[in-house]
Chains A and B, each alone.
Chain A
């Protein structure tokens, strides 16, 4: 079933690439259908998912041989973390595909690349084989390169190139680290389950440290953490709205997901030794991201930098969870917060970038100074914006709060000072979102944008789906937290004894 949810979009995208002279409507229908089917497969897995305390580490596991000589196989399976993130990704892809996009006369290719990206993204989250994980990790770069390059705005070529080169550097660092980790294990296998069980490397000797460093740098570029974030604002500004939504909502999660799945789970002792520096880097990302966001006059750049800030929270949670100090329950809380943040940020920022896309299709610019007084003209857009913005800076009752509360509550138990300083980030993001909302919606209506229309139905329902979920998670987070905390990532671990 998991394999199906990966293959359906991939095959459909191949079909779209090969199917010449198809109309835009048909291409969109095919894309919507494939995306929905893939999402349904995930729902079916979710329905059958056991969240009891006796649940196995990974569920719905399937395995087919591939390159036996290297111990590589097609292995898929989910634990709570990967299922939650994949569900979010599947939904976000569905909404982004449904979004009425400007396809520049190449609808077939546009939807084809979107489906391709959906397939490989889900493949990454669902894979239980490190090499297959890496394959999908690299393929997301190819998909995104073409989406940004072909359907982006003015500087799209440069942005796409920078994105590709930067993140390829990161992914190669990850490849070397993966190989180092696999070679440290006695038998040659890329099976994630086995590597978690064996814990091939421990301690802080040069080799373990280098390998951990490779993973962290690679994932930090993808996440992105300061100082590896410079590709992000450019890529976001130039990418079309739905591609931005997917880039922020899904692709950034690959960095934090990988961080939990690989270094955090496979090298617990080494990770614990370096958890504090990682927390400091996360703190820098939180503050830097929010401060720089505050200074931006471009709508999309501003949202992009808040992503740096939010991914900083996530990494802070992961670092706190990986440090072997503080009580077990506090660390579980921090990790749970980090994973919840992945889901919440995906939904919220996905919605925000779709909203930014709506602004662009209406006004043809992201420049904040060109907007003003839109409240009367576009009430629906305003409601959507403020709901997403409130959720983003963590207003109670919305999804962001659930995530950020857990992260900070957890990290206070581990790194109280770091967490206290990090709280500043929340204040700054609150300020910047409110100020941005004021600029856009209140005050004088500028004459050149006076003709702007409110949201169309095709824009309303993807936003509504995302935002309803944001509210739902905010009000009743229990079902999500139960799901997330099931399985491998949250399995208790004791020093020296391996996972129990």
Chain B
């Protein structure tokens, strides 16, 4: 008897997605938006089905291939939330696209891929999650079929993705071959008994590249700025947030399998972290395009995220740091992209002059989102960064924390470059806004950004001291 009830949330998302595909092909053009409420209902149901797992004990299900621990549950809840915000952004944005009903199905399939990643306890399962999330991601990025920038974004996403996914598959083959099986449990057992071998390390490196692609981290980060700039704004909101959640948890789980000594994996990840955050920040400094700047900032945030991965199983704070940082980052980034969507994709820095006066809600949302991304208290990003610093120092990587500190100061500069014209600049021409769907989305994300900071205990409490499967 299969424990079907353990994956009811995933099944709900899947069924909703299939229903939307069918619905979208029968609904007339003017009713395509109906798919949005359907998607929302599906996501809400999945959330309701997922919530009871919070109280349960951490355990593995389906023959130890799927984890129901706090990291997985927190990650999946966050994925559902982020997807819901994206759904809210879409109806008006795609109003002129006669086939946009299928967009929601793609979103849900992609979210499903990320959820699988967050729970996977098996290397093959990780592979399936990555592929599902990538294949749908290409479509999401290139959804504006007649617009060159969007197609370019989709193309770049696809090319980098094809390379990275091949690396992942190859690496997984090496790992499975060297360790005797794809299950994380068996891998951990084989690793603690055996020693490092070159093939094993090559495999691990290749898998890391594959995950770095989903995270938007070096060396497979090149797609992120283009997607942030060229993809439809709701897709950009989704693609800069949701795949990262699943990938970060999966990578952390993988790293936790390796003993502290003998394997250079933690130093490798730490190096990637520093490279990623520095690269992202330096590149963001020169951007005059809001969305491109956010893309690079998203790269640098992936670098911070890798800090938590580095110290996985070295300190009790690693999992809380990972999860809270993900919450803070997701909320803030969604807020920023929601505001941009609400402003109809306005992206040139010169066009943001005096926005605080002409369009207060999106302006405030952007400012709060930026401050949260910097880590200014008491916003969500602060709690995440605080935990992150705490974990990194406690895990013995003080230099990593100092590198992150320097990077944070740099990042403030480019965020303020966009805040200053909004607050001080002369108002520009008329500001067009997208109507109530995106206004609701912006408000929801904004409130979440602030609430995660003020009520950090609600996230930190359950996550602190939780078990990370497989133990």
Contact = CB atoms under 8 A, between A and B. Distances in A.
Contact of B378 (A135, A160, A183): A135
A345 to B, nearest CB: 28
Interface string A444-475: 00000000000000000000000000000000
A179 B390 contact: yes
A149 B424 contact: yes
Nearest to A137: B377
Given A157-B424, A172-B405, A176-B405, A69 B390 contact: no
Interface stretch (A162-170, A256-264, A489-497): A162-170
Contacts of B383: 67
B402 A176 contact: yes
Interface string B400-422: 01100100110011001000100
B376 A165 contact: no
A452 B398 CA distance: 58
B394 interface: yes
Contacts of B374: 168
A182 B412 CA distance: 26
A205 to B, nearest CB: 14
A378 B345 CA distance: 56
B405 A142 contact: no
B390 A183 contact: yes
Interface in B367-403: 371, 374, 376-378, 382-383, 386-387, 389-390, 393-394, 398, 401-402
A430 interface: no
A156 B378 CA distance: 26
B412 A165 contact: yes
A456 to B, nearest CB: 29
Contacts, number: 82
- Contact-size category for B: 20 to 34
Q: Is the interface of A mostly helix, strand, loop or mixed?
A: helix
Given A131-B386, A175-B386, A67 B460 contact: yes
B460 A168 contact: no
A150 B420 CA distance: 9
A161 B416 CA distance: 7
A134 interface: yes
B376 A142 contact: yes
A168 B374 CA distance: 10
Interface in A148-190: 149-150, 156-157, 160-161, 164-165, 168-169, 172-173, 175-176, 179-180, 182-183
Interface string A57-82: 00000000111111000000000000
Contacts of B413: 161, 165
Given A131-B386, A169-B409, A69 B460 contact: yes
A496 B73 CA distance: 48
Contacts of B378: 135, 139
A146 B457 contact: no
A176 B401 contact: yes
B271 to A, nearest CB: 20
A341 interface: no
Contacts of A142: 371, 376
Contact of A183 (B371, B394, B423, B424): B394
B343 to A, nearest CB: 21
A191 interface: no
Contacts of B463: 69
Contacts of A182: 390
A384 B377 CA distance: 40
A138 interface: yes
A410 B371 CA distance: 43
B56 interface: no
A134 B460 contact: no
B460 A175 contact: no
Contacts of A161: 413, 416, 420
A70 B409 contact: no
A336 to B, nearest CB: 33
B320 interface: yes
Nearest to A169: B409
Contacts of B416: 145, 161, 164-165
B456 interface: yes
A123 to B, nearest CB: 11
B457 A66 contact: yes
A131 B408 CA distance: 18
Given A134-B377, A183-B390, A183-B394, A67 B457 contact: yes
B405 A173 contact: yes
B52 interface: no
Contact of B376 (A69, A138, A146): A138
A67 B378 CA distance: 12
A169 B405 CA distance: 8
Contact of A68 (B394, B398, B457): B457
Given A67-B383, A142-B376, A179-B389, A150 B460 contact: no
Given A139-B376, A172-B408, A69 B457 contact: yes
B409 A67 contact: no
B427 to A, nearest CB: 13
A8 B164 CA distance: 55
B198 interface: no
Given A142-B371, A149-B420, A180 B393 contact: yes
B173 interface: no
Contacts of A134: 377
A229 to B, nearest CB: 18
Contact of B320 (A69, A139, A157, A183): A69
A156 B416 CA distance: 13
A217 to B, nearest CB: 11
A69 B377 contact: no
Nearest to A210: B398
A183 B460 contact: no
B464 interface: yes
Nearest to A162: B413
A172 B394 CA distance: 17
Contacts of A149: 420, 423-424
Interface in B354-371: 371
B3 interface: no
A69 B464 contact: yes
A151 B188 CA distance: 60
Contacts of A65: 457
Contacts of A172: 405, 408-409
A168 B461 CA distance: 29
B393 to A, nearest CB: 5
Given A164-B412, A165-B413, A175 B389 contact: yes
A168 B375 CA distance: 10
A231 to B, nearest CB: 13
Nearest to B390: A179
B332 to A, nearest CB: 15
A169 B409 CA distance: 6
Contacts of A69: 320, 457, 460-461, 463-464
Contacts of B386: 70, 131, 175, 179
Contacts of A150: 423-424
Nearest to B409: A169
Contact of A135 (B320, B377, B393, B408): B377
Interface centre among A67, A157, A168, A173 (most CB of B within 10 A): A67
17 contacts: A66-B457, A69-B460, A69-B464, A70-B390, A70-B460, A131-B386, A135-B377, A135-B382, A138-B376, A141-B376, A142-B371, A142-B376, A149-B423, A168-B409, A172-B405, A172-B408, A176-B393
Interface of A: 65-70, 131, 134-135, 138-139, 141-142, 145-146, 149-150, 156-157, 160-161, 164-165, 168-169, 172-173, 175-176, 179-180, 182-183, 210
Given A168-B409, A210-B398, 16 more contacts: A67-B456, A68-B461, A69-B457, A70-B386, A134-B377, A135-B377, A138-B376, A138-B382, A139-B376, A142-B376, A156-B424, A164-B412, A172-B405, A173-B405, A175-B386, A176-B401
